[in-house]
Amino acid sequence: MKKTLLLGVLATTLFASCDTNKDPFSIGEGSIGNLDKTIQMKQVDSIFAEDSIVKLNPIKNALGTQGEVEVYDRDGNKLLLLSPEDENDPNATITNVQVFDSRYKTDKGLSSGSTFKDVKANYTISNIETTINAVVVFLKDSEIYLTIDKKELPENLRYNPNAKIEASQIPDDAEFKYFMIGWEPEVATEIE
């Protein structure tokens, strides 16, 4: 009986210590720091209790956090921009995260402060889409997508919005304009 109780206490302690040792700046599948894709906007206040949350489109008479918010650390550094599936629903989950702080990193070291060379060295690019002022790079088997300003590209590619841009045409030292994470909204399944 004592051994069972001791093992139970030990197991609980190990699980609790694993949870508290989670890197608050790690980017993983379905998560970034203490956020994951199941978090509702109304839970953001408690997750970032030590940080500052700025509501970008304050909703009159709103109960709790809803709508798009920016998160700043204690020193005033902008960390993240969180966008929900539905701006008017405090129960909506987060569907897009813009990462500003380079302390947030993937297990392969990719961060908002990385360059395109880091992408090519560690990831497979699934698609590159061209917009008027930028190219958007999608990574295979990843929720991360990156926007690179066309100012980072060779001059012959900057002014043609219809140009098909290949990864080999993007310079290694190209920096990211936006470092984004996109999550599909969780679909509730009905139990029959």
Half-sphere exposure of 30 (CA within 13 A, CB side): 5
pLDDT tens for the chain, 192 residues long, are 555 444 444 444 444 444 456 789 999 999 999 999 999 999 999 999 999 998 887 666 655 566 799 999 999 999 999 999 988 888 899 999 999 999 999 999 999 999 999 999 999 999 999 999 999 999 999 999 999 999 999 988 888 878 899 999 999 999 999 999 999 876 654 454
| 90 contacts 11 by C-beta, under 8 angstroms | no
Domain ranges for the chain, please list them.
28-101, 102-184
* Distance from C-alpha of 101 to C-alpha of 55, rounded to nearest angstrom: 18
Question: What is this structure's pTM?
Answer: 0.81
**Which DSSP symbol is given to 23?**
-
